[in-house]
A and B are shown apart, each in its own frame.
Chain A
Amino acid sequence: MSPRNGRPNVPVTIDGQDVKAFEGESILELARRVGVPIPTLCHLEGLSIHGGCRLCLVDTGDHKLKPACATEVTAELDVTTTNAEIREHRRRIVELLFAEGNHICAFCVSSGSCELQDLATEHHVDHIHYELGYERHDVDASHPKYVLDRDRCVLCTRCVRVCDEVEGAHVWDVAMRGNEARIVAGMDIPWGESSACTWCGKCVVVCPTGALSFKGRATGEMRHDPELVAFLARARDEGEWIDRRAEA
C-alpha cells in the first residue's frame, strides 16, 4: 500500500457499508483498510499485481466478477465481497490448488505457516473431489541454503516478482504452460548453479506454501515472513530503515 495523500473522498459501498476510498485505491486495499476480509493468495503488498490465483474475486454488479487486488475503486461502486456463489467459487479454486499438487499438510515443512492451509480451513475444504495430480514435478535441492519443491507450488509468482522487483536479481521465471507450468531458475538450470542468485532468501520468505523453504527444516518447522516485502517497500519509499525482527 503506497502512502496516500490527502483524505479518502471516493464514496464506495462495500458489503452494505458506506465508506470513503482514496483515489486509485484497489478494492482490496480499501477492504483491508476498513476491516473487510477478502481472501488472497498471489497478491502481496509491496509487489506488482499478478491477478492469477482468482481468490479475491468480488461482485461489483458488472457481468463479470472482478479481482479485488487489481480493480480500482470508482465513485459509487457497490462491492459485494462474499455471497454464496463467490464462496463456492473460492472453495473450488482452493480445492483445485490442492488437487493439482502435493499439499499433504502432515508431511509438509510449512504446515502451520501456509497460506493455502489457512485458505482451506477458512473455506471448509475438508476433502478433495478431484483426481490428485501429484506428482508432476521435480524437487530442486541443488541450492546450499534453500529447497524448491515444485509440487507444492501454487504458481502465485511471488518469488518471481520479489526477485525481480525487490532484489533485482531476476533468478526466477515461469516455464512451460498449463498443467506443466513450473518455476525455473535462470534458463531452467539447477538453482544452485544460478550465478544470479544472491542468496538473499526473499523468495523463500514470501512463498505462501511449502514450495520454497530453508534447507534442514523438518516437518512443520518452516516459518515464512511475507510481510517483509511491504516493510521493504515502505522503507524504501519513506527512506526510513528502522530495525525489524523477522519471525523466522
Chain B
Amino acid sequence: MAATIDLDDVANVELEARSRFTHRALVCTSTGCLSAGAANVRATLEADLTEAEADHDVQVVPTGCPGLCSRGPLVTVESRGEESTLYQYVDEDAAHTIVREHLVGGAPVEGGDIVPPDIPFYAKQHQVVLAYAGRIDPDRLEDYVAEGGYRALSKALTSMTPEQVIEAIDASGLRGRGGAGYPTARKWELLHDAPGEHKYVVANGDEGDPGAYMDRTIMDSDPHRVLEGMALAAYATGADKGYIYVRAEYPLAIERLERAIRAAKRAKLLGRSVLGTGFAFDIEVRVGAGAFVCGEETALMASIEGRRGTPSLRPPYPTERGLWGAPTMINNVETLANVPAIVGKGPEAFAAVGTETSKGTKVFALAGSVTNTGLIEVPMGIPLREIVFDMAGGIPNGKAFKAAQTGGPSGGCIPAAYLDTPVDYEHLRALGSMMGSGGLVVMDETVKMPEVARFYMEFCRDESCGKCTPCRAGTVKMYAFLDRICRGVGRKRDLQHLESLCRTVRETSLCGLGQSAPNPVFSTLEHFREEYLELLVEDEEFLPAGAAPTAPGAPTDEAGAR
C-alpha cells in the first residue's frame, strides 16, 4: 500500500515554492469575474510576464471569489513582505499596466483602480468559511493544505473519538445554514445513533433561492473545505458514503468539486483508508436538474436515487430511513464548511463570535439597490444597518432605503424601522422573515411591495412540484390575486380571499415550499399594507346587502357570489 501523505511536508514544499516568487497575482476566476472577463485578464497577465521574462519571479494564480463581485474582474497582488493590493475592474489594459508597474516594476500602480484595504466591505467581515476564498487556487489540493487544510480531519482521526467530534460541534453551537437553523450536533447524533451497516451524509448544494450564491462560491472557491467537512461528519456519525448534490446550473462548482475529489482520493484523504486509518469514506457529486424543491431534503434524496424530485412525508426522517432505506443526514454546504474550523481550532473560537443563540458567522449574498453587491461573511448578530449602509455602501443615486428581503421566497421583508435589528435566526423570525440560506436583497423607495410579493409568488408557483393540492393550486390562485391587485383591478374582496388562502396554504401544504410560500405576502402585508389598499377598487354589489340567500349550515365568512 502506498504511504499516506504527510500534510506538513506538502505544506512546506508549497510554501517554499511560493517564497521563490517576488509577487503573486491572484486572479479571481469564479463565476462572477469569469463572466466579466477574468479569463482574458489571466491570459494577458501570463503572456506579458512571459514576454518580460518575469514568469519565474511572478506567479499567476487562478483563485476563487474574494466577494466584491460587482467590481470584478478582481486581481490581488501579493508582494513578499508587503500588504497585498486589490485591483478592481481589471480589463486588458489594466492587466498590461499591472504587469509593467507592479509585478515587474515592483510598486503598486500609480493611480490604479485599487480597492482601499480598509473599506467596511472587508473590514467588518469575519471570515470562517470564506477564509481561503480568493486566496487559494481551488483546483490545487496543495494550496488548501498549505493554509492548514485537512489538519482538522487528521486531528480527529488520530486523537478524537467520533463522540468527541460531535461534542465539539455541540459546544460550538453550530446551527444549520440551510434555512431552518436546526442544531447541527443534534442531527449528527441522530445519525450516529441510527443503526445501519451503511449510512450516508449529503451536502446540500442545491441553492435554489433567486439571488443566492453563497454555497456556489464556497464550492467553487474552496471545494476541499466542503470535502473535509463531510469527511468529519462521516467520521463522527459512522457514515461511509457521501453525496454532494449540486444544481446543474453550477458547472464550475461541479467541475472543481470533482477535481478536488479526485485529488483527495489520490492523496488518500478520501477512500478506503483515510490517512492510513481504518476510516473509509467516499464522496460522489450528484447533479440536480435545477428544481428549487429538490433542495428540500426528501425531494433531494428522491432525486439522488433517480426518482422524481418530489418531497415525501416525514416521518420517517432521513436519519431513520433515507437514501435507499439507509440512515442519511442532509447538511447544507455552508454548515459543513464550518466544521473543519470548529474541529481544527476548537469550538470556543467559533462560539466566541455571534450571539447567544446564533453562533459563528453567516455568508450573505448582497443584491439589489446597493453600491457593492457581492458576498460577505459577517458575525451573527451584526445590525442590518451595518450590512446595508457600511458594507454594501448604502443605496446608490441618493434614493432612500425601503426594505431588505431575506430568506428568498420563504422569507420576508424588513422595513427601515427595523434596520437596527441584529441579524440572527431568532430576530429575523420575529420580524416575519427568516435567515434562509443567505440571500439579502435591498430595495429602495421606488420598489412596490405588492410587486415584490407577486415576484416571489410567481417563483413558488413555477417551482411547486404539484404533489399536494394547497401548494400546487394555491400558489396559482395566490399569484392570480396578487396579479390583479398589482394591475389595479383587485377588489377588496380579493385581498380577503388572498389572505385566507395564504393561511390555508401555510397550514396545510406538505413541505416547506408551500408552507412558506405565503411568507412574502404576510410580511409585505404586515409592514406595507397601505400599499395594497391603495391599489384596491371597491367591491361591486350584486344584491342589496343582506339579501343574499345563505345555505343552511354553510360557513358565512366568505359568502357572497361572484
Contact = CB atoms under 8 A, between A and B. Distances in A.
Given A89-B508, A124-B555, A181 B466 contact: yes
Contact of A126 (B291, B472, B510, B551): B551
Contacts of B561: 127
A93 B508 contact: yes
Interface string B271-314: 00000000000000000000101000000000000001010110
Interface string B474-494: 111100100000000000000
Contacts of B358: none
B555 A87 contact: yes
A131 B501 contact: no
B10 to A, nearest CB: 47
A74 B235 CA distance: 34
A53 B467 CA distance: 8
Interface residues of B, number: 38
Of residues B313, B501, B551, which shows the largest number of chain A Cβ atoms within 10 Å of its Cβ?
B313
A179 B464 contact: yes
Nearest to A154: B469
Contacts of B469: 52-55, 93, 96-97, 154-155
B504 interface: yes
Contacts of A92: 470, 500-501, 504
A130 B508 contact: no
B554 A126 contact: yes
A79 B501 CA distance: 24
A177 interface: yes
B465 interface: yes
Nearest to A123: B555
A178 B461 contact: yes
Contacts of A54: 468-470, 508-510
Contact of B465 (A49, A67, A177): A177
Nearest to B312: A51
Contacts, number: 110
Nearest to A179: B476
Contact of A88 (B310, B476, B504): B504
Given A178-B462, A178-B465, A131 B477 contact: yes
A164 B555 CA distance: 40
B497 interface: yes
A91 B503 CA distance: 13
A124 B507 CA distance: 21
Contact of B507 (A52, A65, A70, A179): A65
Given A65-B508, A126-B554, A180 B468 contact: no
B56 interface: no
A191 B220 CA distance: 45
A100 B473 contact: yes
Nearest to A69: B313
Given A54-B468, A179-B466, A89 B474 contact: no
Contacts of B293: 177
A130 B477 contact: yes
A52 B508 contact: no
A68 to B, nearest CB: 12
B299 to A, nearest CB: 11
Interface string A82-94: 0001011101110
B558 interface: yes
B111 interface: no
A155 B466 contact: yes
B466 A177 contact: yes
Contacts of A155: 466-467, 469, 472
Contact of B555 (A88, A130, A133, A154): A88
B508 A179 contact: no
Given A155-B466, A179-B472, A57 B508 contact: yes
A89 B554 CA distance: 14
A99 interface: yes
B473 A96 contact: yes
Nearest to A67: B313
A133 to B, nearest CB: 7
Contact of B466 (A53, A96, A174): A174
Contact of B313 (A49, A129, A154, A173): A49
Contacts of B474: 96
B508 A180 contact: no
A180 B466 CA distance: 8
A176 interface: yes
A177 B473 CA distance: 11
A92 B497 CA distance: 10
Interface in A52-75: 52-55, 57, 64-65, 67, 70
A93 B500 CA distance: 12
Contact of B551 (A51, A124, A129): A124
Contact of A124 (B477, B553, B562): B553
Given A126-B554, A178-B472, A52 B467 contact: yes
12 contacts: A52-B510, A54-B468, A92-B500, A96-B470, A97-B473, A100-B472, A127-B562, A130-B497, A173-B308, A174-B308, A177-B466, A178-B463
Interface of A: 49, 51-55, 57, 64-65, 67, 70, 85, 87-89, 91-93, 96-97, 99-100, 124, 126-127, 129-131, 133, 154-155, 173-174, 176-181
Interface of B: 291, 293, 308, 310, 312-313, 461-470, 472-477, 480, 497, 500-501, 504, 507-510, 551, 553-555, 558, 561-562
Given A92-B470, A99-B477, A129-B558, 20 more contacts: A53-B468, A54-B468, A65-B507, A88-B504, A89-B508, A93-B504, A124-B553, A124-B555, A126-B554, A127-B562, A129-B562, A130-B497, A173-B308, A174-B308, A178-B472, A178-B476, A179-B461, A179-B466, A179-B472, A181-B467
